[in-house]
Amino acid sequence: MALLGVNWLSRVTGRGAGTVAGGRVGLRVCPDLLEQLSRRREIICVSGTNGKTTTTALIAAGWGAKVATNATGANMPAGHVAALATTRATRVVLEVDEAWLPEVIRRCSPRVVVLLNLSRDQLDRASEVRVLADKWRGALSRTTALIVANVNDPLVVFAAETAPRVRWCDVPTTWLGDAQSCPHCTRPLSPEGSTWHCLCGFTRPASATTRLDGEGLVVDGAPVDLTLSLLGDFNRANAAMAITALGEVGVAAHEAAARMATVTSVAGRFSLRTYRGQVVRTLLAKNPAGFSALLDVIPSSPGEVWIAINARIADGRDPSWLYDVPFERLRGHRVRCFGDRKLDLATRLDYAGVEWRLDDDEVEVIDETLYLLANYTAFADIVEESTPC
């Protein structure tokens, strides 16, 4: 029925329902289109501030079957309709914008919801992060879905702790700038080794069934060989949670892990490209937590790093967050500043004691691969202006 309806919609609107614009028209004509398209499908939703796109791609790759998934960035209902309208695939993984998660859970009735992390991002147009955590909590307490949740992020724990079914994942989580005070009572969260608790009783659940640390990945007590092509501890954490989610739909952990190892780049992220004659590895980071995780993968030896910052609508129009990024870690490197807001970046680096240059100073090509970190629209511009190696 739903597919017939979409075909009809495509004809009457003159656009494919498989595009985001078509999805938007479809939802206007048929407000419960997403509910209809979700019926009799096995859906995994992925949300969180950072890692959504990569984790969604890892789940799609790890499932080992034909999987429907939404295009990069199209992570609101119109994008979900577009992903579902043009395929009969019954297995579905959807990246979901944080603010839309409660509604998408209600409309799609997913089997699994993956909650990666929650921290500040684009505060000029998004909710403050605690308001968001509270909305998640309300939605999750009523769902039958399995929640796969990061136990090291107190805001995620707050959101998921009243859900009927949760699998906690103990994975590396570096930036917790928004989780130092208790989401229940705002008193300080006291860290104790790898755990934390509050005087009000809010505490880190002890029952993690997935654990990823320097020793490797263990799921339900069994070690899983996790060797990714993607770099960074944050991507290993994403993969650990993806593997846990796939366990709920019957995919064996070692098989999922082996398939995930073949993923080398996601929508241009982590790929090698030539930009302005220079070979660069392109990395996307949009907020303090994302940047902090990427700064960890940059080698400590001196060298050049390229960073591009914009502040267009899709980036959030206020780059104040640059002062929440620990750029001091780049002391000893030289940073070349790109993007609409390169002067904001240069000023931040200047106060951090990091050597910097602007992109309009003479660029000499260096005979090694440099890391190029960029935020959302800056990243899109660079992908457009560069070529794959």
Partner 1 sequence: MLRIALLYPELLGTYGDGGNALVLAERARRRGLDVRSITISMADPLVAADIYLLGGGEDGPQRQACDLLAAGSLASRVADGAAILAVCAGLQILGVRFAVAGDDAYDGLGLVEATTVRGSRRSVGEIAVDVGGRTMVGFENHGGRTKLARGVAPLGSVQRGEGNDGVSDGFRAPRLWGTYAHGPVLALNPWLADEILAEALGEELEPLASVADVLYEERLASVMARRAG
- Residue 138 touching partner 1 (CB under 8 A): no
Nearest to partner 1 of 28, 187 (CB atom) = 187
- Residue 200 touching partner 1 (CB under 8 A): no
Taking CB under 8 A as the criterion, the residue among 350, 369, 385, 388 binding partner 1 is 350
Taking CB under 8 A as the criterion, the residue among 21, 65, 131, 365 binding partner 1 is 131
Binding segment (CB under 8 A) for partner 1, from list 25-33, 110-118, 205-213, 340-348:
340-348
- Residue 120 touching partner 1 (CB under 8 A): yes
Distance in Å, CB of 198 to partner 1, minimum: 11
Binding segment (CB under 8 A) for partner 1, from list 22-30, 42-50, 264-272, 351-359:
351-359
Taking a C-beta distance cutoff of 8 angstroms, is the pair 208, 216 a contact? no
Number of residues that bind partner 1 (CB under 8 A): 30
Binding segment (CB under 8 A) for partner 1, from list 26-34, 222-230, 244-252, 344-352:
344-352
- Beta strands across the sheet bearing 112-115: 67-69, 91-95, 42-47, 112-115, 146-150, 166-170, 210-213, 216-219, 222-224
Binding segment (CB under 8 A) for partner 1, from list 151-159, 233-241, 298-306, 338-346:
338-346
Taking CB under 8 A as the criterion, the residue among 118, 307, 344, 380 binding partner 1 is 344
Closest listed residue to residue 210, CA positions, set 159, 245, 251, 175: 245
Distance in Å, CB of 130 to partner 1, minimum: 5
Q: Is the C-alpha dihedral spanning 339, 319, 279, 328 positive or negative?
A: positive
DSSP code string of 228-281: -SS-SHHHHHHHHHHHHHHHHTT--HHHHHHHHTT---BTTBT-EEEETTEEEE
Closest listed residue to residue 260, CA positions, set 43, 52, 59: 59
- Residue 326 touching partner 1 (CB under 8 A): no
Distance in Å, CB of 350 to partner 1, minimum: 5
Binding segment (CB under 8 A) for partner 1, from list 99-107, 159-167, 221-229, 320-328:
320-328
Q: For residues 194 and 204, give the distance between their C-alpha atoms in angstroms, rounded to a whole number.
A: 9
Runs of H (alpha helix) within the chain: 2-13, 20-29, 33-38, 52-63, 77-85, 101-108, 129-140, 154-160, 233-248, 253-260, 288-295, 342-352, 376-385
Binding site for partner 1 (CB under 8 A): 120, 123-125, 128, 130-131, 177, 180-181, 185-188, 317-318, 320-324, 343-344, 346-348, 350-352, 356
